[in-house]
Amino acid sequence: EAQVTQNPRYLITVTGKKLTVTCSQNMNHEYMSWYRQDPGLGLRQIYYSMNVEVTDKGDVPEGYKVSRKEKRNFPLILESPSPNQTSLYFCASSLSGVRTEAFFGQGTRLTVV
């Protein structure tokens, strides 16, 4: 089954403790992206990757890192999480850039206390 898989689905952590949210897709898509979703603000793009070893900042990259060492994986790293990073996170992939249909993961609900 074609899908985007995020792990974990739920995570509660403490301020300052490094964490990684994994994202994997099995559709051989070139483009992958991370978003955060907050009440009343819609989805905001954090980082995106047009292809392996190519990453760029979205609209809200502060406090996040990403890497794209292989095509299928695009982990989101929070080196020192803070409470304002409490949010619902989505990973998405598409065949080639934003002009092709994006497939979203099921989301990761992160709480930083």
Partner 1 sequence: GESVGLHLPTLSVQEGDNSIINCAYSNSASDYFIWYKQESGKGPQFIIDIRSNMDKRQGQRVTVLLNKTVKHLSLQIAATQPGDSAVYFCAEGGGGKLIFGQGTELSVKP
Residues that bind partner 1 (CB under 8 A): 4, 31, 33, 35, 38-45, 48, 50, 56, 58-59, 90, 92, 97-99, 101-107
84: phi then psi, degrees, rounded to nearest 5: -75, 0
CB of 57 to partner 1, least distance (A): 9
Q: Kindly tell me which of 14 and 98 has the beta carbon lying closer to partner 1.
A: 98
DSSP 62: T
Q: Least distance to partner 1 from the beta carbon of 110, Å?
A: 15
Q: Tokens representing 62?
A: 């502060």
Nearer to partner 1, 58 or 63 (CB): 58
Minimum distance from residue 76 beta carbon to partner 1 (Å): 15
List, as one string, the DSSP characters of 1-60. Answer: ---EEEE-SEEEE-TT--EEEEEEESS--SEEEEEEEETTTEEEEEEEEEETTEEEE-S-
